[in-house]
Amino acid sequence: MTQDLTQTRTAVVTGASSGIGAASARALAAQGFRVVCAARRTDRIEELAAEIGGEAVTCDINDADSVAALAAAVPVCHVLVNNAGGAVGVDRVEDADLDDWRWMYDVNVLGLVRVTQALLPALRASGDAVIVNVGSTAGRWAYEGGAGYTAAKHAVKVVSETLRLELNGEPIRICEVAPGMVRTDEFALVRFGGDREKADAVYAGVDQPLLAEDVADAISWVATRPSHVDIDELVIKPRAQAAAHKVHRS
Ligand code: 8X3
Protein backbone atom coordinates (compact mmCIF):
# COMPACT_ATOMS: atom_id res chain seq x y z
CA MET A 1 0.00 0.00 0.00
CA THR A 2 1.96 2.98 -1.25
CA GLN A 3 -0.74 5.64 -1.40
CA ASP A 4 -1.57 8.09 1.38
CA LEU A 5 -4.98 6.98 2.67
CA THR A 6 -5.79 10.45 3.97
CA GLN A 7 -5.62 11.71 0.37
CA THR A 8 -6.96 8.71 -1.49
CA ARG A 9 -10.54 7.56 -1.47
CA THR A 10 -10.74 3.80 -1.30
CA ALA A 11 -13.40 1.59 -2.86
CA VAL A 12 -13.89 -2.11 -2.28
CA VAL A 13 -15.69 -4.13 -4.94
CA THR A 14 -16.70 -7.73 -4.32
CA GLY A 15 -17.17 -10.11 -7.21
CA ALA A 16 -14.62 -7.99 -9.05
CA SER A 17 -13.35 -10.86 -11.21
CA SER A 18 -15.97 -10.41 -13.93
CA GLY A 19 -19.09 -8.68 -15.18
CA ILE A 20 -20.58 -5.78 -13.22
CA GLY A 21 -17.92 -6.09 -10.51
CA ALA A 22 -14.96 -5.77 -12.88
CA ALA A 23 -16.65 -2.95 -14.77
CA SER A 24 -17.40 -1.14 -11.51
CA ALA A 25 -13.78 -1.44 -10.39
CA ARG A 26 -12.70 0.15 -13.69
CA ALA A 27 -15.33 2.90 -13.45
CA LEU A 28 -14.41 3.79 -9.86
CA ALA A 29 -10.69 3.80 -10.68
CA ALA A 30 -11.47 6.21 -13.52
CA GLN A 31 -13.09 8.45 -10.90
CA GLY A 32 -9.86 8.48 -8.90
CA PHE A 33 -10.63 5.82 -6.32
CA ARG A 34 -8.00 3.37 -5.16
CA VAL A 35 -9.95 0.19 -5.84
CA VAL A 36 -9.57 -3.00 -3.85
CA CYS A 37 -10.72 -5.80 -6.14
CA ALA A 38 -12.05 -8.70 -4.10
CA ALA A 39 -13.02 -12.09 -5.50
CA ARG A 40 -12.08 -15.74 -5.30
CA ARG A 41 -10.29 -15.90 -8.65
CA THR A 42 -6.88 -14.44 -7.84
CA ASP A 43 -5.52 -14.44 -11.41
CA ARG A 44 -8.37 -12.34 -12.68
CA ILE A 45 -8.35 -9.74 -9.94
CA GLU A 46 -4.56 -9.43 -10.04
CA GLU A 47 -4.79 -8.68 -13.75
CA LEU A 48 -7.57 -6.16 -13.18
CA ALA A 49 -5.78 -4.50 -10.28
CA ALA A 50 -2.64 -4.13 -12.40
CA GLU A 51 -4.72 -2.57 -15.19
CA ILE A 52 -6.40 0.02 -12.96
CA GLY A 53 -3.63 0.65 -10.45
CA GLY A 54 -5.64 -0.96 -7.67
CA GLU A 55 -5.13 -3.82 -5.30
CA ALA A 56 -6.25 -7.45 -5.46
CA VAL A 57 -7.43 -9.27 -2.36
CA THR A 58 -8.49 -12.86 -2.82
CA CYS A 59 -11.71 -13.27 -0.91
CA ASP A 60 -14.56 -15.74 -0.54
CA ILE A 61 -17.45 -13.73 0.88
CA ASN A 62 -18.90 -16.88 2.39
CA ASP A 63 -15.82 -17.54 4.48
CA ALA A 64 -15.53 -15.53 7.69
CA ASP A 65 -11.71 -15.72 7.86
CA SER A 66 -11.39 -14.65 4.26
CA VAL A 67 -13.68 -11.66 4.82
CA ALA A 68 -11.79 -10.76 8.01
CA ALA A 69 -8.56 -10.72 5.96
CA LEU A 70 -10.22 -8.39 3.44
CA ALA A 71 -11.26 -6.04 6.25
CA ALA A 72 -7.74 -6.12 7.69
CA ALA A 73 -6.37 -5.01 4.31
CA VAL A 74 -8.71 -2.01 4.19
CA PRO A 75 -8.53 0.16 7.32
CA VAL A 76 -10.40 3.01 5.65
CA CYS A 77 -13.13 2.47 3.07
CA HIS A 78 -15.19 5.17 1.36
CA VAL A 79 -17.17 3.02 -1.04
CA LEU A 80 -18.20 -0.60 -0.67
CA VAL A 81 -19.80 -2.21 -3.70
CA ASN A 82 -21.43 -5.45 -2.59
CA ASN A 83 -21.63 -6.92 -6.04
CA ALA A 84 -20.88 -10.63 -5.61
CA GLY A 85 -23.96 -12.72 -6.26
CA GLY A 86 -25.67 -14.91 -8.78
CA ALA A 87 -28.46 -17.24 -9.75
CA VAL A 88 -28.58 -20.97 -10.25
CA GLY A 89 -31.45 -22.79 -11.84
CA VAL A 90 -34.91 -21.89 -13.10
CA ASP A 91 -36.87 -24.54 -11.25
CA ARG A 92 -40.45 -24.03 -10.19
CA VAL A 93 -40.96 -23.86 -6.43
CA GLU A 94 -42.58 -27.29 -6.56
CA ASP A 95 -39.40 -28.86 -7.93
CA ALA A 96 -36.81 -26.55 -6.46
CA ASP A 97 -33.43 -27.86 -5.43
CA LEU A 98 -33.01 -26.43 -1.95
CA ASP A 99 -29.23 -26.65 -2.21
CA ASP A 100 -29.47 -24.18 -5.09
CA TRP A 101 -31.65 -21.93 -2.95
CA ARG A 102 -29.16 -22.17 -0.08
CA TRP A 103 -26.29 -21.24 -2.42
CA MET A 104 -28.24 -18.21 -3.68
CA TYR A 105 -29.11 -17.05 -0.19
CA ASP A 106 -25.51 -17.51 0.91
CA VAL A 107 -23.92 -15.63 -1.94
CA ASN A 108 -26.51 -12.89 -2.50
CA VAL A 109 -27.56 -12.18 1.08
CA LEU A 110 -25.37 -13.67 3.81
CA GLY A 111 -22.15 -12.85 1.94
CA LEU A 112 -23.29 -9.25 1.51
CA VAL A 113 -24.10 -9.00 5.20
CA ARG A 114 -20.81 -10.64 6.22
CA VAL A 115 -18.75 -8.20 4.13
CA THR A 116 -20.79 -5.23 5.33
CA GLN A 117 -20.35 -6.21 8.98
CA ALA A 118 -16.61 -6.63 8.52
CA LEU A 119 -16.12 -3.34 6.68
CA LEU A 120 -18.38 -1.11 8.78
CA PRO A 121 -15.50 0.06 11.00
CA ALA A 122 -13.51 1.05 7.89
CA LEU A 123 -16.56 2.75 6.38
CA ARG A 124 -17.07 4.71 9.60
CA ALA A 125 -13.37 5.60 9.65
CA SER A 126 -13.75 7.32 6.27
CA GLY A 127 -16.15 9.86 7.74
CA ASP A 128 -18.16 9.80 4.51
CA ALA A 129 -19.05 6.44 3.04
CA VAL A 130 -21.38 4.89 0.48
CA ILE A 131 -22.46 1.27 0.41
CA VAL A 132 -23.80 0.16 -2.96
CA ASN A 133 -25.64 -3.13 -2.81
CA VAL A 134 -26.16 -4.67 -6.20
CA GLY A 135 -29.72 -5.94 -6.11
CA SER A 136 -31.84 -6.71 -9.12
CA THR A 137 -35.19 -6.15 -10.72
CA ALA A 138 -35.62 -9.71 -9.40
CA GLY A 139 -35.95 -7.92 -6.06
CA ARG A 140 -38.95 -6.02 -7.46
CA TRP A 141 -40.99 -8.67 -9.22
CA ALA A 142 -41.63 -12.39 -9.32
CA TYR A 143 -41.40 -14.65 -12.34
CA GLU A 144 -42.01 -18.34 -12.86
CA GLY A 145 -38.91 -20.43 -12.16
CA GLY A 146 -37.19 -17.55 -10.44
CA ALA A 147 -38.23 -17.79 -6.80
CA GLY A 148 -34.89 -18.90 -5.39
CA TYR A 149 -33.21 -15.88 -6.95
CA THR A 150 -36.05 -13.38 -6.61
CA ALA A 151 -36.44 -14.24 -2.92
CA ALA A 152 -32.72 -13.61 -2.35
CA LYS A 153 -32.76 -10.33 -4.26
CA HIS A 154 -35.89 -9.20 -2.40
CA ALA A 155 -33.82 -9.84 0.72
CA VAL A 156 -31.04 -7.59 -0.61
CA LYS A 157 -33.61 -4.82 -1.01
CA VAL A 158 -34.89 -5.25 2.54
CA VAL A 159 -31.41 -5.55 4.07
CA SER A 160 -30.51 -2.30 2.30
CA GLU A 161 -33.61 -0.55 3.66
CA THR A 162 -32.94 -1.85 7.15
CA LEU A 163 -29.31 -0.77 7.12
CA ARG A 164 -30.40 2.72 6.05
CA LEU A 165 -32.67 2.89 9.09
CA GLU A 166 -30.12 1.47 11.49
CA LEU A 167 -27.26 3.69 10.31
CA ASN A 168 -29.32 6.88 10.17
CA GLY A 169 -27.30 9.66 11.76
CA GLU A 170 -24.00 8.16 10.67
CA PRO A 171 -22.09 9.41 7.61
CA ILE A 172 -22.87 6.29 5.63
CA ARG A 173 -25.27 6.20 2.71
CA ILE A 174 -26.85 2.99 1.45
CA CYS A 175 -27.93 2.54 -2.14
CA GLU A 176 -29.40 -0.48 -3.83
CA VAL A 177 -28.67 -0.51 -7.54
CA ALA A 178 -31.15 -2.91 -9.13
CA PRO A 179 -30.36 -3.92 -12.73
CA GLY A 180 -32.73 -5.72 -15.04
CA MET A 181 -31.48 -7.58 -18.10
CA VAL A 182 -27.70 -7.27 -18.28
CA ARG A 183 -25.73 -9.34 -20.75
CA THR A 184 -22.54 -10.40 -19.01
CA ASP A 185 -20.16 -13.27 -19.72
CA GLU A 186 -21.24 -15.35 -16.79
CA PHE A 187 -24.63 -14.56 -15.18
CA ALA A 188 -26.91 -16.58 -17.47
CA LEU A 189 -24.25 -19.21 -18.14
CA VAL A 190 -23.93 -19.94 -14.41
CA ARG A 191 -27.69 -19.95 -14.02
CA PHE A 192 -28.08 -22.57 -16.74
CA GLY A 193 -25.19 -24.72 -15.51
CA GLY A 194 -22.92 -23.82 -18.42
CA ASP A 195 -25.54 -24.44 -21.16
CA ARG A 196 -24.57 -21.78 -23.70
CA GLU A 197 -27.69 -22.24 -25.84
CA LYS A 198 -30.06 -21.65 -22.92
CA ALA A 199 -27.95 -18.73 -21.70
CA ASP A 200 -28.02 -17.08 -25.12
CA ALA A 201 -31.79 -17.60 -25.41
CA VAL A 202 -32.31 -15.20 -22.47
CA TYR A 203 -31.15 -12.33 -24.69
CA ALA A 204 -32.45 -13.61 -28.05
CA GLY A 205 -33.84 -10.82 -30.20
CA VAL A 206 -33.47 -8.21 -27.46
CA ASP A 207 -32.22 -4.96 -28.90
CA GLN A 208 -29.26 -4.00 -26.70
CA PRO A 209 -29.51 -5.63 -23.28
CA LEU A 210 -27.59 -3.58 -20.72
CA LEU A 211 -23.86 -4.14 -20.54
CA ALA A 212 -21.87 -4.42 -17.32
CA GLU A 213 -20.44 -0.98 -18.15
CA ASP A 214 -23.91 0.57 -18.10
CA VAL A 215 -24.50 -0.65 -14.55
CA ALA A 216 -20.97 0.31 -13.51
CA ASP A 217 -21.66 3.81 -14.79
CA ALA A 218 -24.72 4.00 -12.52
CA ILE A 219 -22.74 2.66 -9.55
CA SER A 220 -19.98 5.17 -10.14
CA TRP A 221 -22.55 7.98 -10.36
CA VAL A 222 -24.14 6.91 -7.07
CA ALA A 223 -20.72 6.78 -5.40
CA THR A 224 -19.76 10.26 -6.52
CA ARG A 225 -22.81 12.29 -5.44
CA PRO A 226 -22.17 15.02 -2.87
CA SER A 227 -22.13 13.74 0.73
CA HIS A 228 -25.63 14.95 1.59
CA VAL A 229 -27.23 13.30 -1.46
CA ASP A 230 -28.46 9.79 -0.80
CA ILE A 231 -29.68 7.72 -3.73
CA ASP A 232 -31.78 5.07 -2.01
CA GLU A 233 -32.56 2.92 -5.02
CA LEU A 234 -31.69 2.96 -8.68
CA VAL A 235 -33.53 0.58 -11.01
CA ILE A 236 -31.80 0.27 -14.37
CA LYS A 237 -33.10 -1.74 -17.34
CA PRO A 238 -32.59 -1.83 -21.09
CA ARG A 239 -35.14 0.18 -23.05
CA ALA A 240 -36.50 -3.09 -24.47
CA GLN A 241 -37.47 -4.36 -21.01
CA ALA A 242 -40.58 -2.91 -19.40
CA ALA A 243 -41.15 -5.73 -16.90
CA ALA A 244 -40.17 -9.32 -16.26
CA HIS A 245 -42.75 -10.57 -18.74
CA LYS A 246 -42.61 -7.59 -21.06
CA VAL A 247 -39.38 -7.74 -23.05
CA HIS A 248 -39.50 -6.55 -26.66
CA ARG A 249 -37.85 -9.09 -28.97
CA SER A 250 -37.47 -8.69 -32.71
C1 8X3 B 1 -30.96 -10.40 -13.21
C2 8X3 B 1 -32.33 -10.00 -13.61
O3 8X3 B 1 -34.46 -10.85 -14.76
O4 8X3 B 1 -32.58 -12.38 -14.73
O5 8X3 B 1 -30.60 -9.89 -11.94
O6 8X3 B 1 -33.82 -11.95 -12.73
S7 8X3 B 1 -33.32 -11.38 -13.96
pLDDT digits (tens, 9 = 90+) for 134-192: 999 999 999 999 999 999 999 999 999 999 999 999 999 999 999 999 999 899 999 99
pLDDT for position 7: 67
Annotate 90-100 with b (16+ C-beta within 10 A) or e (fewer). Answer: beeeeeeeeeb
- The identity of residue 111, as a single letter, is G
Does any domain span residue 2? no
160 lines ligand 1 (CB under 6 A): no
To test the pocket of ligand 1, the residue of 88, 150, 181 to mutate (highest count of ligand atoms within 8 Å of its CB) is 181
194 domain-assigned: no
**Is the per-residue pLDDT at 1 higher than 80?**
no
Tell me, yes or no, whether 199 lies in a domain.
Answer: no
Query: How far does the centroid of ligand 1 lie from the alpha carbon of residue 132, in Å?
Result: 18
β-pair partners for 236? 179
Tell me: the pLDDT tens digits for 47-96? 999 999 999 999 999 999 999 999 999 999 999 999 999 999 999 999 99
Residue-level pLDDT at 5: 46
Domain count, the chain: 1
CATH of the domain at 221: 3.40.50.720
116 in a structural domain: yes
CA–CA separation, 173 vs 227, rounded Å?
A: 8
CB atoms within 10 A of CB 127: 12
Task: Tell me the residue range of the domain where 219 lies.
Answer: 9-184+211-236
In a domain, 127, yes or no: yes
232 part of a folded domain: yes
Residue 95 CA, distance from chain mean position: 28
Looking at residue 6, its pLDDT comes to: 47
Q: Return the best residue to mutate from 133, 134, 140, 149 for the ligand 1 pocket (most ligand atoms within 8 A of CB).
A: 149
Q: Is residue 204 part of a domain?
A: no
For 191-236, how does the pLDDT look when each residue is reduced to its tens digit (9 = 90+)?
999 999 999 999 999 999 999 999 999 999 999 999 999 999 999 9
Can you give the pLDDT at residue 132? 99
194-210 b/e with 16+ CB inside 10 Å = b? eeeeebeebbeebeebb
Evaluate if residue 4 carries a pLDDT over 60: no
Structural domain includes residue 220 = yes
Give pTM, 2 decimals.
0.96
